[in-house]
Copies of this chain bind each other. A is one copy, B any other.
């Protein structure tokens, strides 16, 4: 009887016909005892509704009974009552006929109550609810995850799938390896398996076992990052950093000697650049390589403890190291060069003169063997100098194709910018994993009974939860489009584009990794205590990616690099075009006419206006342009006032970072809008479905734009670019867009295409 009482009262008030139905039909039910019948009459008295405690008790008993129910959901409450009745019997088989006979009476009762609402049913029997609700969430949305995935994966779908298939093998199953040595061994084994499949060498020339495809390598790398970030980083160190140094800084001699064995991981190597005393300051490295003309050898030496190579990935497994040091020939230093130094023999033991120290446990990435390295006058043949940009001639003299030491230094460093193109992709993969877990959990988890006690509301229906997660999902899409644009530019780069691409990479690396840190944190908090359990992945995602904002260049330093490069470009455009360049800069670059701060626009708050690019794209452009131009003016004013340019730069650090961020955001928005625009003409065939996908993507990017403007609303208000009313209108639009995307959010995260097995988290299943 309990389900009926619960159902009846869950609408809070019983109508007179309902009460009549309840009382009348209850009379017809043989299985009720006299006592039960009395209780029922009393409880169905509308003057004395059951207490809250009583109600809770029914719910509890109902759920308890439901534990014994079959997997498949019965068609009606009546049938369910029969099943419950049967399951309460000592020998249910014998009573089957009896209970079947009750079905009709129960059905009448159910009808008398005006039918039982689906959500009442579900709240009473949560076991039927979960799958139901999931199904419902997907049905509500207008797009299929596969269509979104097709957009994100693009032309790399094949290699992504290929890597996923490898990662889904039993050999890649995760286990809790708390001791770093165990974990490192596992990661090394995984890395070898990937190498055997040719994944590590994807970017190398075909002659060395590769496929000459940097794109595919990038796609593989970001896919590996779904599985395990230690694996992704070790993979990147071996094939990207060590292999990349050999490939980009070395010449054919080095390629022939090392590249094939690097791709197969027969020759594990490391990339020894950073020193303890010099984090972000590569130019100031203290390790020396002194040329000894007599033996035609280089003597690699760490002059002090602080000059030790710090945080070197693969340090405990590597047999080779690409060591960055000041090259000294005939008493003269020629600046930073890389030298290949064998550090371990085939037997795995360190060679003479090499000292290695384990970095120990870290906040995360404990599957990566980071260590410190010192060299005590280690001699290597001069051929070990990676000499593409500077080498030692037969006659013992130094020569370089690039005369200026500064240009040489930046050219060499520029070839290593790949790390900054790849790391943000791994960060984004981690953010996508976190968002998928948190959103799926939010679509299942309930909290607090809603007012009608019908069911606890699913978390994702709380506006606050939508606000927490949906803008982050939108930003993940936008950031991916931005990173895709960067990758494309990087892969197809020419020599003269390098400075721009380096600046872009510096900015996007910072933006994407800061986003990853923030998104993962928000997801952990949004999943409460469940999110804190290691099994649900946030611990690893958070701990592993936390260093991304630091390595491959500290974000705050990188953002200042970008700002300086923007200033240079700004000055250039200024000199070329006279005063108007100030306005044209960036404006010209994006090819859009900027609507300026006229008093009408500043106050315009209708949705049509806000959703138009004339507002939001212009707002992004305005911010980027204004922050760079005011930065330039401020620096000039300080210097004119007698300050050194160094001091002036220090004072403007925060301004620089803000200007760089504005530029990156504009870049991300433009890349995203272009991806949306590009979809329009090409999808004539499957127009309907394509239109839905385009529409959802458009709204997603719009949310990214509005949310970004909202975050900077202090600045926009200060700059009189928007009025207070307009700022509020933007906030309301963000709320609205979150609500409108709520039905799509399941598909949006499923569109990331992360297999359940790689996701791992039980709360996401």
Contact = CB atoms under 8 A, between A and B. Distances in A.
B53 A539 contact: no
Q: Does more than half of chain A's interface fall in helix, strand or loop, or is it mixed?
A: helix
A433 interface: no
Contacts of A311: 529
Given A53-B335, A56-B284, A176-B361, 15 more contacts: A57-B333, A179-B179, A280-B448, A281-B449, A361-B534, A364-B539, A451-B646, A451-B647, A464-B657, A467-B653, A467-B654, A543-B543, A717-B718, A717-B727, A719-B724
Contacts of A464: 556, 653-654, 657
Interface stretch (A104-112, A236-244, A547-555, A574-582): A547-555
Most B-side CB within 10 Å, residue of A328, A363, A554: A363
Interface in A455-483: 456-457, 461-464, 467
A713 interface: yes
Nearest to A547: B532
Contacts of A363: 524, 532-534, 538-539, 542-543
Given A52-B405, A517-B521, A533-B360, A63 B303 contact: yes
Interface string A74-109: 000000000000000000000000000000000000
A447 B306 CA distance: 13
Given A311-B529, A539-B361, A717-B718, A304 B64 contact: yes
A645 interface: yes
A326 interface: yes
Given A463-B654, A539-B363, A724-B719, A550 B529 contact: yes
A23 interface: no
A528 interface: yes
A531 B543 CA distance: 12
Contacts of A651: 463
A524 B546 contact: yes
Interface in A173-197: 176, 178-180
A54 B717 contact: no
Contact of A178 (B179, B456, B546): B179
Given A52-B405, A535-B360, A547-B532, A304 B63 contact: yes
A528 B550 contact: yes
A359 interface: yes
Interchain residue pairs A-B with the least CB separation, the first 8 = A451-B646, A64-B303, A53-B333, A363-B539, A717-B717, A361-B534, A464-B653, A714-B714
Contact of A303 (B61, B644, B717): B61
A650 B461 CA distance: 9
A448 B718 contact: no
Nearest to A645: B451
Contacts of A64: 303-304
A286 interface: yes
A51 interface: yes
Nearest to A305: B67
A126 interface: yes
A362 B333 CA distance: 51
A451 B525 contact: no
Interface residues of A, number: 102
A53 B405 contact: yes
A332 interface: yes
A310 interface: yes
B53 A359 contact: no
A156 interface: no
A304 B68 CA distance: 10
Interface in A250-284: 274, 277-281, 283-284
A376 interface: no
Interface in A462-520: 462-464, 467, 517
Interface string A304-348: 111100110000000000000010100011110000000000000
11 contacts: A63-B304, A176-B360, A278-B447, A279-B447, A284-B449, A363-B532, A363-B539, A463-B651, A531-B550, A542-B546, A719-B724
A568 interface: no
A355 interface: no
A679 to B, nearest CB: 33
Contacts of A532: 362-364, 546-547, 550
A279 B525 CA distance: 13
B720 A448 contact: no
Most B-side CB within 10 Å, residue of A334, A464, A546, A720: A464
Nearest to A303: B64
Nearest to A653: B464
A653 B463 contact: yes
A57 B326 contact: yes
Nearest to A549: B525
Nearest to A657: B464
A728 interface: yes
Interface string A603-640: 00000000000000000000000000000000000000
A45 interface: no
A142 interface: no
A547 B524 CA distance: 9
Interface string A711-729: 0011001111000100110
A60 interface: yes
A726 B310 CA distance: 46
Contacts of A305: 67
A56 B714 contact: no
Contacts of A334: 53
Most B-side CB within 10 Å, residue of A532, A535, A646: A532
Contact of A310 (B52, B310, B406, B529): B529
Contact of A529 (B67, B279, B645): B279
B456 A67 contact: no
A397 interface: no
Given A539-B362, A539-B543, A549-B525, A644 B451 contact: yes
A650 B529 contact: no
Nearest to A276: B530
A298 to B, nearest CB: 15
Contact of A53 (B179, B307, B326, B550): B326
A472 to B, nearest CB: 15
Interface string A684-721: 00000000000000000000000000000110011110
Interface in A549-595: 549-551, 554-556
Contacts of A539: 361-364, 543
Nearest to A710: B714
B714 A332 contact: no
A117 B280 CA distance: 26
A283 B728 CA distance: 37
A595 B533 CA distance: 49
